[in-house]
Each structure stands twice: as structure tokens, then as C-alpha cells.
Structure 1
Amino acid sequence: MRQWVLFALLLVAASAHSQSATGVDKRRSGADFMAASTQAMQKDDTLNPGMLWVKDGEALWQKPTGQSQKSCASCHTPSSMKGVASRYPDFDDVLKRPITLSQRINQCRQKHQQTDPLRAESQDLLSLESFVAHQSRGMPVAPPDDKRLDTFRERGQQRYTQRMGQLNLSCAHCHDSNAGGRLGSSQIPQAHPTGYPVYRLEWQSLGSLQRRLRNCMSGVRAEPFAYGAQELVELELHLAVRAKGMLVETPGVRP
């Protein structure tokens, strides 16, 4: 009997190795875990609520602001933004650390438009980020192959697998070990950040990836990092590596 159990285990291991050797990509977008009606909402731009933010972002893109009275369009065409969001977080040469797309937008506001940065999760910042990210929809996530990011990526990976909060859980416990399972009435996704900023039906609003990460931290009863914290940026870096090659969906819709 013991030999049969050992043989069965060997078969399972061989099968897993074979599936891995075929190079089949088992990663799935969060959209794949949604109900058909929610998937349809994301796919149809006339139904996707996130497109309201994209349209607002397009208007802000053209609007002169700040002491310089420059608009984003004064320096960039929308077509020049294709593929930009798919590379973030990216290394900043001045700060010597990675920054997110929203942080880059605020940098441009301060340096080139000579105006104040937008508040995290504000309507205007989410709209501009959505408009820029929308230009990359359908393009593969392409985190930079920049050695200067290695240390930050490693810290992000460590944080992804690190237990936290009173529930003593890590990101990996839910999104690796139990992906596809259920948490209450919801199916647990693999946590690939392909649709951000996303419109969440739970929020009845659009939100950033950092808002979702902070929600997860609260869910395991941990103290959430502040918006823009280096810890969150590093975690975003790791998530981008996990999603490398998957397609950008912005604006995504999620339950």
C-alpha cells in the first residue's frame, strides 16, 4: 500500500513537471474570476464606469494649469503615452528609487506646470492616471529590466510572502496558495494588477492599486502603509514582475 501511495505521489509530481515544461501560462486576470455580467461591463466602454474617469482625464490632459499655464498636451501627445503605464513603477534618476505612475504625474505637475501635487485617490489624479494607462490597454505589462530596481524588487517579493496583521497572513497565502478558492461570497483572484486604476462595484468608485493593497492590509488586521509609502511601491514592483507579459486592461472593473 505504501508503495502505491509513493507511486501516486510520483505521478502527480511528474504531471506537474510536465505541465510546467509545456510552458502553459496558468496566470489569469482578475477579470477571469468575475461573473459574466461584470466581465461584459468591463469589455463594453459604454457600460464600463471607469471610462468616465478616462474621459475626465482626457479633458484634464488638455487643460493649462499652474504658473506655467502648460497642459500635459503641451509636452506629450496621447499616442506618446502608449506603453508608458505598462512600465511602472519605474526608477527615478533624481530620487534614486522607484516611483509609481501617479507619483510621476505629480512630479510633472510640480516641475513643469509649477503647481501643487494632487492628493492621493483624488478625482483628478485618478482621472489623469486612468487616461494615461488607458493608452496602454491591450499592451503587455513590461516592468523595466533595470538592475537598479533589483533591491527594491527583492524587498517587494519578501513583503508579498511576509505574514502580517493579527490574522498572521501574507499576500501569498490568499493569492498563490488559495487563488480560485472563495472568501465569503467572492472568488479569490491571483492578484495581477492588470486593470488599475479599477472601478470596484464594492467601492462604487474608481481606485488605485495602493487603495486595494491598503484594503487587504486592513482585511488581515494590519496597519496599512500610507499612500505613496516606499513599502507599497516595492510591493507594486513585485506584482508587476508577476504580471509580466499579461495585458493591460485599464480601466478594469472588479466586484
Structure 2
Amino acid sequence: MSRLVAILLLLCLPAVAAERRSGFDFMSPATQEMQREDALNPAMLWVAEGEAQWNETPANGKSCAGCHGDATASMRGVAARYPAYDERSGKAIDLQGRINACRATHQHQPAAFDAESRPLLGLAAYLGLQSRGLPVRAPDDPRLAPALRKGEALFHTAMGQLNFSCTQCHDANWGKRLAGSPIPQAHPTGYPIYRLEWQDMGSLQRRLRNCMTGVRAEPFPYGADELVELELYLNSRAAGMAMETPAVRP
């Protein structure tokens, strides 16, 4: 790891670093059991569809398995290190962005999966499952340093009509309640997640946009650099915590 990135990571650690807790810890026993037991976890429906897509060969290209082989071996630990640096764009890219880029390059599909579409979430959940239980990895590429700084700045920037920042909720008031729901520490260890409120799967970008709407701010569009930068920063805070994908949340 470069010295610059190591210093940035130290600066990024939240005040609660010594007491980091997953959102799982704030859930009711019934919801925790839903996540623990795959047979009860509704997100596993998306995982099953993602596995089928992994092995499906399109008419004019290769299957994911055709390039990468058995996902349980080749993809183990991969989701734990995203967002990563993308050579083609020169920017940080999240896992779903990588899926779409790979699909365009190797499967010759001109159209990307739509944001929050079932196929995209299914593949992301299936790949995330291969890292379940492994630690989230801190970014170790110095080329990610500018994006990491931008993500940290966004986390501390007050926005919207309520003039509220991420840190005011998730650092200063974690463990308290907002509209009856517990405030977690915002460690993104389980995305994509099945959220009971949504009755659906969703990405971290969907959750970030929800938060922005909640403070009456104009949300960044799906795929925006700002959302990927925020995810990069949040993952740096969660480095070393166990991956939970696909998680369940209230």
C-alpha cells in the first residue's frame, strides 16, 4: 500500500472506529434470522438468477463463466475490493459498473444493464456472495486517492433544505432513532441488499439517493462519479469488517 493512501485511510477512519458495528447489529432478531438463513433470505432469489446469468452464453459472445470459470473460486474476494480503479475511464468504478463494462467488452452487448435492474442486481449479489465472510479490503491503489478524498468531502458536506451531512447522522448520532428506525454507522458491508421497506433488492447507490432525498437534496443520478466516490470512502471506513452480501435490512 502506498504511503499516501495509508495516510488517507487513517484520516478517513470515523470517530467510532474502535466500536465499528454492522447495520446487522441494529436489526430485530427476526430480521437478523432472515439474513442468517439463506432459505429465509429473499435476496437469494436474485442470487439464483445471477448464478444463471453467470453461466448463460449470449448468442454473440461469451458467458461470464466462459472467461472467469467457476465463480466460487475465481470471484472469491473480488467484491470485497470494489470500488476499484478503472484503466479505461481513469476513474473509480463500482462492481455494477464493472459488470456492465465487462458485458460490453466480452459479450458484445451494446446496451448496459439498467441501473437497479433485476439482472444487474442479481449478478452483483451473486458475485458479492462469493466474498461473504471475507474482510472488506482497503483501497491500495494510489490512483484512487483523489476519488477517496472527494468521497470523504461529500460525506462531511451538508446538503439539501435540511442542511444535513452524512456524518451528522452516522458518526454523531448512530444508535439513536430517526422516525422510529435505528441509525446505523453506514458501513456498506452487505450490498446489494434486500430492504424490507422496499420489498425489493437495491444497490448502495439507491440507498445513498434515498438519504439525499430524505434531507431534501437533489440526488445524484445513478452512475454519477459522486456516488462511486462516496462508496469508495464508505468502504475505506469499513475496511476489515466482514462482507455480508446479500444482506437484509429493515
Using the size of structure 1 for normalisation, the TM-score is: 0.89
Is contact 1:140-1:244 (8 Å) kept? Answer: yes
2:66 is equivalent to residue 74 of structure 1:
yes
Paired residue for 2:145? Answer: 150
Paired with 1:158 and 1:111, the residues of 2 have a C-alpha distance of 33
Is contact 1:89-1:143 (8 Å) kept? Answer: no
Using the size of structure 2 for normalisation, the TM-score is: 0.91
1:187 to 172, 178, 182: 182
Equivalences for 1:225-240 in 2 at 5 Å? 225-240=220-235
Paired residue for 2:11? Answer: none
Paired residue for 2:197? Answer: 202
**SS at 2:85 equivalent:** strand
Residue 185 of structure 1, CA deviation: 1.1
2:212 is equivalent to residue 212 of structure 1:
no
2:57 is equivalent to residue 64 of structure 1:
yes
CA root-mean-square deviation: 1.1
**SS at 1:177 equivalent:** coil
2:29 is equivalent to residue 33 of structure 1:
no
**SS at 2:171 equivalent:** helix
Equivalences for 1:36-185 in 2 at 5 Å? 36-68=29-61, 70-76=62-68, 77-78=70-71, 79-115=73-109, 116-185=111-180
**SS at 1:221 equivalent:** coil
**SS at 1:206 equivalent:** strand
Is contact 1:90-1:100 (8 Å) kept? Answer: yes
* Structure 2 unmatched ranges of 5 or more: 1-15
Aligned-pair identity in percent equals 58
35 and 252 in structure 1: CA distance in 2 versus 1, 3 angstrom threshold = same
Residue 93 of structure 1, CA deviation: 1.1
The number of equivalent residue pairs is 232
134 and 95 in structure 1: CA distance in 2 versus 1, 3 angstrom threshold = same
120 and 24 in structure 1: CA distance in 2 versus 1, 3 angstrom threshold = closer
Runs of 4+, deviation exceeding 2 Å: none
Relative contact order higher in (CA < 8 Å, ≥ 6 apart): 2
Residue 144 of structure 1, CA deviation: 2.4
Residue 25 of structure 1, CA deviation: 3.2
Is contact 1:62-1:73 (8 Å) kept? Answer: yes
Residue 94 of structure 1, CA deviation: 1.5
**SS at 2:18 equivalent:** coil
1:180 partner amino acid? G
